[in-house]
Amino acid sequence: MTTAPDFVPHPLARQERMVEAILFAATRPLTVAELAARMPEGCDPAEALAGLRRTYAGRGVVLERIGEGHAFRTAPDLSFLMQAETVETRRLSRAATETLAIIAYHQPVTRTEIEEVRGVAVSRGTLDQLIEMGWVRMGRRRMSPGRPATFVVTEAFLDHFGLESARDLPGLSELRAAGLLESRPPAEGLGLPLAGGPGDDDMEPDDPAPVPQELFDDE
């Protein structure tokens, strides 16, 4: 005599619908573990995600991986349609933009290392602004004298610029072509020579400038 299983697994199609509903309602990318915690026992959110990615391939909305999370986003080739509805309210000084770029390319990086690259002191307000925006967070402390804190970019940063990971940032050649780096090759080590300008110092107030999209657009 056979016994019935403790539970009947949900069909994959229903699991895909569950994941679809959760992600559409979510305000941020969700990991596989977070999806599993919301779904009934026995479900396989990873497999459901793979199925949804195939279903939405080539459509106006696509399923993207952002860091360790997953979210629905407008298809990249249709992003121009959203420009009229998008208002950029986050404005950064040149000092903050350069600091953000250094952290993105060299993470995890300490404050001292940021100052070595920029050649000027980094004010506390600059890092506080990036942290408050949710684009930068504290990383692990270095196992070195003084155990200095490090800084890394967040998934919110990756999501804002449409990146799966920091590895998708444009190369130095693209940055130089955009005029955001000096034309000379960078020095060894942390060298990321940023194009400077008069009065470009964290200790002096800068006129707010929008975050340059070309800094992170890999085209």
- pLDDT tens, residue by residue, 110-138: 999 999 888 888 887 888 889 888 889 98
> What average pLDDT does the segment 99-115 reach?
89
Phi, psi of 147 (to 5 degrees): 40, 65
Give the global pTM: 0.49
Q: Assess whether pLDDT exceeds 90 at residue 21.
A: yes
d(CA 17, CA 25): 12
Q: Assess whether pLDDT exceeds 70 at residue 87.
A: no
**What per-residue confidence (pLDDT) applies to 213?**
44
Any idea which residue has 């657009």 for tokens?
217
Structure tokens at 198: 């008069």
**What per-residue confidence (pLDDT) applies to 170?**
73
**What per-residue confidence (pLDDT) applies to 84?**
58
Q: Assess whether pLDDT exceeds 60 at residue 52.
A: yes
Q: Is the dihedral of CA 78, 84, 90, 94 positive or negative?
A: positive
| CA-wise closest residue to 105 among 5, 193, 40, 213 | 193
Strand partners, 65: 70
Over residues 6-17, the pLDDT tens digits come to: 555 689 999 999
> What average pLDDT does the segment 78-84 reach?
76
Q: Assess whether pLDDT exceeds 80 at residue 193.
A: no
Phi, psi of 162 (to 5 degrees): 65, 40
Q: Assess whether pLDDT exceeds 90 at residue 59.
A: yes
Choose between 121 and 186: higher pLDDT.
121
**What per-residue confidence (pLDDT) applies to 7?**
52
**What per-residue confidence (pLDDT) applies to 200?**
40
| CA-wise closest residue to 96 among 200, 216, 8, 218 | 200
**What is the band of 159 on the pLDDT scale with cuts at 50, 70, 90?**
confident
Are 103 and 114 in contact by the 8 Å Cβ rule? The answer is: yes
- Beta-strand runs (E) in 139-199: 150-153
Amino acid at 122: V
**What per-residue confidence (pLDDT) applies to 211?**
43
**What per-residue confidence (pLDDT) applies to 8?**
56
Instruction: Give me the percent of the chain exceeding a pLDDT of 70.
Output: 70
d(CA 139, CA 184): 31
